[in-house]
Amino acid sequence: MRLFSGLVASLAASAGLASAFNVNCNSNYVSYYGQNSAGNQKTLGEYCKDSTEDLIVLAFMNGFPNIIMNFANACETTFPGSSLLHCPNIAQDIKYCQSQGKAVILSMGGASGAYGFSSDSQGAQFADTVWNMFFKGSSDQRPFDDAVLDGIDLDIEGGGGSGYVGFINQLRSHYASDPGRQYYIAAAPQCPYPDSYLGSTLNSAWFDMVFVQFYNNYCGLNAYPTWFNYADWDNWAKTSSVNKNVKIYIGAPGSPSAASSGYVSGSTLSTIYSAVRSQYSSLGGIMTWDVSQARTSGLAGAIRSALDSGKTCSSNPGGGGGTTTTTTTTSKTSATSTTPTSTVVEYTTTSTTSQPTTTSSPSTCPVNGGKCSGNQQGCSGQKFAICNGGSWWVSSCAPGTYCYLNGNMATCDWANGRPTDGCSVSGSMSFSKRQDLIAVNKITKPSLRPKPANAKSKTSTRVEFVVSELANNQFSTVIKIQTNKDAFSGNWSISFTLPSGQKIESTSRGSASTNGNTVTIKSDISREESKNMAAIFKISGTYTGEYVLPDTNTASFATS
Model pLDDT for residues 6-52, shown as the tens digit of each residue? 333 333 333 333 357 999 999 999 999 999 999 999 999 999 999 99
C-alpha 88/C-alpha 44 separation (Å) is: 12
The pLDDT-based confidence of 359 (bands split at 50, 70, 90) is very low
pLDDT tens for residues 474-512? 888 878 787 655 778 889 999 999 999 999 999 989 999
Q: How many CA atoms lie within 13 A of 368 on its CB side?
A: 5
pLDDT of residue 460: 64
pLDDT of residue 33: 98
The pLDDT-based confidence of 415 (bands split at 50, 70, 90) is low
Give the three-class secondary structure for 294: helix
Mean per-residue pLDDT, 86-111: 96
pLDDT of residue 23: 97
Mean per-residue pLDDT, 374-393: 79
CA dihedral of 260, 262, 268, 274, whole degrees rounded to 10: -140
Pairing of strands 68-69, 103-110: unpaired
Residue pair 31/287 in contact (Cβ under 8 Å)? The answer is yes
Give the three-class secondary structure for 170: helix
Of 36-50, 227-241, 289-303, 427-441, minimum mean pLDDT range: 427-441
Average model confidence (pLDDT) across the chain? 80
Could you list the active site residues?
157
The better pLDDT of the pair 413, 200 is held by 200
Give the three-class secondary structure for 340: coil
C-alpha 518/C-alpha 71 separation (Å) is: 33
pLDDT of residue 162 exceeding 80, the answer is yes
The better pLDDT of the pair 252, 83 is held by 252
Global confidence as pTM: 0.62
> Which uninterrupted H or E stretch holds 200?
helix 199-204
C-alpha 115/C-alpha 117 separation (Å) is: 7
The pLDDT-based confidence of 274 (bands split at 50, 70, 90) is very high
pLDDT of residue 449: 36
The better pLDDT of the pair 435, 419 is held by 419
pLDDT of residue 363: 44
Residue pair 520/494 in contact (Cβ under 8 Å)? The answer is yes
The pLDDT-based confidence of 111 (bands split at 50, 70, 90) is confident
pLDDT of residue 429 exceeding 60, the answer is no
Residue pair 234/280 in contact (Cβ under 8 Å)? The answer is yes
C-alpha 172/C-alpha 184 separation (Å) is: 9
pLDDT of residue 482: 73
The better pLDDT of the pair 118, 48 is held by 48
Mean per-residue pLDDT, 536-556: 85
Q: Which residues contact 140 (CB under 8 A, 6 or more apart)?
A: none
C-alpha 235/C-alpha 233 separation (Å) is: 5
